[in-house]
Amino acid sequence: MLWMTFEDMKADPKKVIKKIADFIGRPLNEDQLDAVVHATSFQVMKERNERAVNPGFFFEKCEKGVREKKGEKIQRVQWQRKGEVGGWKNTFTVAQSEAFDKVYKEQMKGYEDVTYQF
């Protein structure tokens, strides 16, 4: 099993992609590695997704933040957030974060050596 984290990927994507390639037995040369790093960057994937989504397929109108389907307004779905480490801090309240930490510590008893950078 290969273990990696989003935080590791953000810190050094080239190192993590090389690790994945080596793990699956498909080592990459430098040019290939650079191409994969570029193609899997958050910005490139976000741009590709925005081009791939065809609002006219499901929705009659597409306005900023809202789509309409047969007269019914539907909030626009955002596939990617910001692609940053620690974005959860802008979503969860302090109380929610503390509740998560409590449950996490209880559930991870016996696995204290498994650490994450939240």
* Beta strands in 1-118, from DSSP E residues, in sequence order: 61-63, 66-69, 72-75
Instruction: Decide: 79 and 42 in contact? Cβ < 8 Å.
Output: no
Instruction: Decide: 27 and 21 in contact? Cβ < 8 Å.
Output: yes
How far does CA 93 lie from the centroid of its chain?
21
Whole-prediction pTM:
0.58
| pLDDT, averaged across the chain | 78
Comparing CA positions, the residue from 17, 4, 10 lying closest to residue 85 is 10
pLDDT digits (tens, 9 = 90+) for 29-57: 999 999 999 998 888 877 776 655 555 54
